[in-house]
Structure 1
């Protein structure tokens, strides 16, 4: 006999914005489709979420056919604890505290006769999969990077192809349908990478790769039309891949929990500009540019005479007089509602660090990019944006290359991306991917929407099997 109990899904996120955003979007989609969803991360991350969203601990919000609630836990550290700056120590502390909390939450739900049907986690917290297994609860993984990058890490973990090593540091990596040079794979996998947290990050990511075959499925914030070859490849490796993106495009994720107070002025300013006249610049929440590079970008903007919107936390680093000289033509802010910005018709192109969230938002919004990768998967994303998706122009160098992008380079690339035949080609390609993204999330018909429905059916099937076994 099939269970009629509601599907109750627990989502556990690593406490960083780039991890929280896609998982929160997924939470809204699941609730809108009739699942009761609990979203949890640390209290510190929860308080930061509230600065841009109407989210508080223990709140329950009606979405679509069901609800989304938040339940944050204390990671046991003061806000200024130096352990937060040491990734190895912090992830160990998070695992220690998080395991106890998630286990107790599962127990509490069971005792209140509202048992958890499935648990979803994201990268860096593979221990959540262990907790799910110990409690005999099906789990899924939200992979918040591209399917191409997932394929790279999968092949690296299982030693299916040769990767750069200390003895052969410059060899090509032969993947299905593509060959990548040694400096086009995520640089965390390169033996000469000197990033001080490289070993920890690789260990955390590979810890999740190890769990792929045990998961009910792996949900990826991408769409079939964009990454068919890689989705198909991984799907043939005893791993069920369900592309469910672009998550931000799903109508159910729009408008929820977003305050307009800080963004209305930005959108009003964009609305005052002509179509395809503004360059949007943002390097995400983690990348910190050297002073010299900030200067060169600033002078490149001055010399190009283009209008710009720059999301820059380190505004004190701007050259003296820059804000005065660009008054009216440019706007510098500490934070931007990026999805709203990229969907504004005045935005012509996007200078981006190429994190997957930003890459997906640009592709699905039809906005060409100037790539400025820093570390990790950003390097591979930049390669695909330029050479495979054909929506970008190379601009910046990676952290490992230690090269400065000059103001002349900034000016040249900006003008190339905003006017003339190259700009038209980039825009046409970008609009093609936007059209495909819009189609992927159409309710009941789009490839990603059907994939999400299939995932929910998987959960219900597991529930029916569990009841029959009682």
Structure 2
């Protein structure tokens, strides 16, 4: 039997690329060769950012065990890929044929045939391509299992009158699929948080195609761990946790081409100069957009706190334009604060100087914070981030949420108050450190390790 060859395909977004690449490295450790597939547009962004941050590493060259490739997403290079409805339509129209041609080209090379396809659930159509070609397949859900349940139970939601056949919202009452699972606000369902009604319907149709692609798939694995979502795993037995898919408490041995922005590594040197457990870390992921008033309130809150802070302010954070700080802000906070455009977040959260994490509650950020024992201040923006906040604040009790004022803003007083409240709560820190231990145990000797090993052996056995 030759070397098993996995083709791994990810949805073109930061929060998806990271766990799929981490899984690819785990597969390499288990003896696989991996072809990692991005869209052309995302592939170029990732390689450009990685080259700027690590010019010595030549990320455009594939490693011996991971080959980086790409296929078109169906849009012109200058198209706005933040219009997710347009992007999803284009993906379905063009990428299945492109992926099929890619696999056939690979299989035409002697000794290089793809032996399994491992697809992000958000690219579930790729599982249909694999089925058509007779290739074993597996699906990966890169977020919380609780969020996936809303997609697996479309028909139940329709029958109960929560949504229509086209995914439109009919009932805003909270829902849950078992008494022990968290309550979920249907207004925050993933396909209902983006754009207008027409775009919601497009995204719902896209999600439906992907979920149908799961039919007959033997392995549906999730970047989570049993201890933090046990009621969900006890009900949905076909979802198997293998997470957290990250290097816990240490820096990676080599840079991984996953970031869409150039990482500013000077922040790590700055953190080295700060006292242990002193720095407020603020980052809102790759999609969050602020208006100018909210940006101003956050800026003033950080200045008024007067504590060391590291703030990741993307170049497009404010209405997709450059940030407009209060006059003189950067000069006034220079003695204790640092602002960067992007950073190596896993390394930052593993740093002993970090005291808390002001976060949009994306799942990667949530797992990275948990796995390093860092308490949270929750600032969710859309989709699964609200469920993740429910986990953090109400179920795990390892963070606090912010309360908006009558204008829908988080005021500088509210932000300052919640940071000080959280930093003074020893119970939160004790609980998050306990979950850190659970995360490490799960991937070293617990259910996640067992599921991951079982998945690897199953995929090898079909090669």
Q: What does residue 450 of structure 1 align with? A: 450
Decide whether the 8 Å contact of 1:161 with 1:174 is kept in 2: no
Deviation at 1:110, TM superposition (A): 2.3
Quick one: distance in 1 between partners of 2:45 and 2:195?
31
* Whole-angstrom CA distance in 2 between matches of 1:367 and 1:191: 28
Paired residue secondary structure (2:201):
helix
Partner in structure 2 of residue 382 of structure 1: 389
Matches for 1:177-256 after TM superposition, within 5 Å: 177-178=179-180, 183=185, 186-188=188-190, 197-235=199-237, 239=238, 241-249=239-247, 254-256=252-254
Asked if structure 2 preserves the Cα contact closer than 8 Å seen for 1:242 and 1:455, the reply is no
Asked if structure 2 preserves the Cα contact closer than 8 Å seen for 1:391 and 1:430, the reply is yes
> What is the deviation of 1:12?
1.1
Confirm or deny that 1:90 pairs with 2:93: no
Contact 2:180 2:231 in 1 (8 A): no
Q: In the aligned structure 1, how far is the partner of 2:251 from the partner of 2:338?
A: 28
8 Å Cα contact 1:164/1:191 also seen in 2: no
| Residues 285-332 of structure 1 deviation map (CA, whole Å, 9 limit, x = unaligned) | 111111111111111112222211110024632211111111121111
Following superposition, the deviation at residue 167 of structure 1 comes to: 9.0
What displacement does 1:201 show? 2.8
Quickly say closer, same or farther: Cα 1:215–1:345, change in 2 above 3 A. Answer: same
* Alpha-carbon distance, 1:210 to partner: 2.6
| Counterpart for residue 331 of structure 1 | 338
Q: Which residue number in structure 2 is paired with residue 468 of structure 1? A: none
TM-score scaled by length of structure 2: 0.87
5+ residue gaps, structure 1: 464-470
TM-score normalized by the length of structure 1: 0.86
Question: How many residue pairs end up in the alignment?
Answer: 444
Q: Which residue of 2 aligns with 1:319?
A: 326
- The CA distance in 2 between the partners of 1:71 and 1:52, in whole Å, is 16
Shift of 1:253: 9.0
Residue of structure 2 in register with 1:307 after alignment: 308
**Secondary structure class of the residue paired with 2:221:** strand
**1:267-416 alignment to 2 at 5 Å?**
267-313=268-314, 314=317, 316-395=323-402, 403-416=408-421
Instruction: Report the Cα distance in structure 1 between the residues aligned to 2:221 and 2:184, rounded to whole angstroms.
Output: 28
Partner of 2:54 in structure 1?
A: none
Q: What are structure 2's unaligned runs of at least 5 residues?
A: 52-56
- 8 A Cα contact 1:187 1:379, kept in partner: no
Contact 1:56 1:70 in 2 (8 A): no
Q: Tell whether 2:144 aligns with 1:139.
A: no
Which residue among 78, 81, 96 is the counterpart of 2:79?
81
Change (3 A) 1:94 1:170: closer
Work out the CA distance in 2 between the residues paired with 1:91 and 1:202: 10
After alignment, is 256-265 or 308-317 more displaced?
256-265
> Is the Cα contact below 8 Å between 1:57 and 1:70 reproduced in 2?
no
Per the alignment, do residues 373 and 402 of structure 1 end up closer, same or farther by CA in structure 2, a change over 3 Å counting? farther
Q: Is 284-293 or 307-316 further displaced after alignment?
A: 307-316
- Cα deviation, residue 149, structure 1: 1.0
- Secondary structure of the 2:41 match is helix
Which of 7, 21, 29 is the matching residue for 2:18?
A: 21
Which one is further off, 445-454 or 264-273? 445-454
Report the 3-state secondary structure (helix = DSSP H, G, I; strand = E; otherwise coil) of the residue aligned with 1:317. Answer: coil
Contact 1:216 1:458 in 2 (8 A): no
Once the two structures are TM-superposed, the CA of residue 119 in structure 1 deviates from its matched residue by 0.5
Shift of 1:163: 6.3
Q: Could you tell me how far 1:441 is from its partner in structure 2? A: 1.9
Q: 1:10, 1:38 within 8 Å by CA — same for their partners in 2? A: yes
Q: 1:184 to 1:413 in 2, by over 3 A?
A: farther
Q: 1:146 Cα shift?
A: 0.2
Distance 1:145 1:409 in 2: 29
Cα RMSD (Å)? 2.9
Determine which of 83, 99, 113 is the counterpart of 1:115. 113
- C-alpha spacing 1:262/1:181, structure 2 compared with 1 (3 Å): closer
Taking the aligned partners of 1:153 and 1:42, their CA distance within structure 2 comes to 24
Q: 1:212 aligns to what SS in structure 2?
A: coil
Do 1:371 and 1:392's aligned partners in 2 also have CA atoms closer than 8 Å? Answer: yes
Residue 265 of structure 2 contacts residue 344 of structure 2 at CA under 8 Å; is this kept in 1? no
- Given candidates 154, 171, 174, the residue that maps to 2:173 is 171
1:97 Cα deviation after fit: 2.9
